[in-house]
Structures are given as C-alpha cells and as structure tokens.
C-alpha cells in the first residue's frame, strides 16, 4: 500500500511570533522554521505502518517556496522514501493546497493520505477534509489511533465528548491528532541517507491547478494584551479578592 503524507513548513512552535509593524502579517524573516508538528506525527505514523509491513512506499509532499525542500528532507530522514515539492511563491490557502494534493494523488494513486489536523500557523483545520471531498473519499479526522485491515482503516478520533471510533474504506484521508504517536528523533546516518533520496519538483501550472487566493488578508494586528495581574500571598487573600474585587464567586 502506498502512503502519501503532506508536510507543511511553518514557523517553529517555540517561536514567539511578532506581528509586522505595517499590519500585513507576522514576521517570518530570520525566524526558525520547522515541519508542522502534526505532519511530523503523520510521517512517523507512515513509517510505523511500513515497519509493520502494511505500507510499501511513503511519498511526502510539500507545497510552497523552494525552502520547503528542507522540510521534505526532514521527512525523508524520519523514513519517507521519496519527496515531491509543488513549488510556488503564491500564498497558498487550504482549498488551493487540497487541489494541488488532489493532482498529486491522481499521479501517485495512494491508498492512504495522511495530513495534519491543523497547521499551527493559519490554524485552519481544513485541508484534509477538503482533499477528501475533492477525491470523493471518506475522511477520518483527528486520529489518535489508526489500524489498517481488510481494505479499511479503523480510526479512533478525538472529539469534544471523548473518543469515537469509525471505519473508513480505502483509499482514504486521515488527519493526525497529537496523541497518534510520538515521533522519533532523526539520526545523523538517516539525515545522510535522506540526501540521496529523490526529490521531485513540480509546478502548480503543470498540475493544472489555479492557486489564486480566495481570501484577502486586510490586516493583521496583535491581540489585546491582558493587563498585568498581581501575586497574592495566600489562599485567604485570593478568595477575598475573588469575592470582593473580581466578584466572580459569592
């Protein structure tokens, strides 16, 4: 079974992002970039499926500027077999990414596509569901457990009320939640090996996909700051404050 995994290059989750002073976006120059954490989990899951003899080949795809090659190399170092960059400098919105991934699916015919539940930059939580819609495939989002058997995937999903288990027919889309697995550390030998793996470069035009944004960013601002609070010495002082000053309890 061939598995396709999408990986997005995003501002590292440890970076304290700053809004640009001209209000056009957030500062991304000279900022540490990494693979979206959810995508790292997806790549790990694919590698485990191959180690278990379920997956035979793992193809990773990233859409965006040339620098995404670095993210793809990381995925190859975790254990993916080959990589595809869909290169563009246009700002990509989820629907456009879903269309690009659809075109890649048409070429690759995977049985399983793993995406992250959400990208930690745009926090959209859309692309996987959109790709499933465009392919006419089922979707299993927010996965914390995945098993493949008998032409089906059984997925435990993290939902508001707890956990839910569904089965979906293959081919399918699965989006990873944080507790699906704990990604391994990449080792130096694997980083070296990754340098020799194939990395193909495609362009949206060649895939016949129009990636023009549908949503315009009018402005980006910092959220209102909370005013600094105080430290109180003990429980008695706290409860007095909550009763008499904040008046949130009686």
Binding site for ligand FAD (CB under 6 A): 13, 37, 120
For residue 134, give both structure tokens. 């465009």
Q: Which partner, ligand FAD, ligand AMP, other proteins, none, binds residue 142 by CB below 5 to 8 Å per kind? A: other proteins
Q: Is 65 exposed, middle or buried (0-12, 13-18, 19+ CB in 10 A)?
A: middle
Among 3, 8, 75, 135, binds ligand AMP (CB under 6 A): 8
Binders of ligand AMP in range 116-155 (CB under 6 A): 116, 118-119, 122, 124-128
Closest alpha carbon to 1 in 81, 60, 55, 58: 55
**115 lines the binding site for ligand AMP (CB under 6 A):** yes
Q: Which partner, ligand FAD, ligand AMP, other proteins, none, binds residue 6 by CB below 5 to 8 Å per kind? A: ligand AMP
Beta-bridge partner residues of 197 = none
In degrees and rounded to multiples of 5, residue 108 shows phi and psi of -100, -20
Among 163, 192, 193, 205, binds other proteins (CB under 8 A): 163
CB contact at 8 A, 65 and 169: no
Binding marks (x or -) toward ligand AMP, 49..78, rule CB under 6 A?
-------------xxx--------------
Q: Closer CB to other proteins, residue 124 or residue 201? A: 124
- SS3 for 72? helix
**230 lines the binding site for other proteins (CB under 8 A):** yes
Half-sphere exposure at residue 11, Cβ-oriented, CA atoms within 13 angstroms: 17
């Amino acid at each position: 079974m061939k598995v396709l995994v999408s990986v997005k290059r995003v501002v590292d989750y440890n970076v304290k992002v700053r809004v640009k002073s001209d209000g056009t976006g957030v500062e991304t120059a000279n900022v540490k970039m990494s693979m979206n954490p959810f995508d790292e989990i997806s790549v790990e899951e694919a590698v485990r499926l191959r180690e278990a003899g379920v997956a035979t080949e793992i193809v990773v795809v990233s859409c965006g500027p040339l620098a995404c090659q670095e993210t793809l190399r990381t995925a190859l170092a975790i254990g993916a077999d080959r990589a595809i960059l869909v290169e563009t400098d246009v700002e990509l919105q989820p629907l456009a990414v879903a269309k690009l991934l659809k075109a890649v699916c048409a070429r690759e015919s995977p049985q399983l596509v793993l995406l992250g539940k959400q990208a930690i930059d745009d926090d959209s939580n859309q692309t996987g569901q959109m790709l499933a819609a465009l392919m006419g495939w089922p979707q299993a989002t927010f996965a914390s457990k995945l098993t493949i058997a008998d032409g089906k995937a059984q997925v435990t999903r993290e939902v508001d009320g707890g956990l839910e288990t569904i089965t979906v027919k293959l081919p399918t889309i699965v989006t990873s939640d944080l507790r699906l697995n704990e990604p391994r550390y990449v080792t130096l030998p694997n980083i070296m090996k990754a340098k020799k793996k194939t990395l193909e470069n495609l362009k949206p035009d060649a895939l016949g996909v129009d990636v023009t944004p549908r949503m315009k960013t009018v402005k980006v601002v910092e959220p209102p700051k909370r005013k600094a609070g105080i430290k109180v010495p003990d429980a008695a002082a706290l409860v007095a404050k909550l009763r008499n000053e904040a008046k949130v309890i009686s």
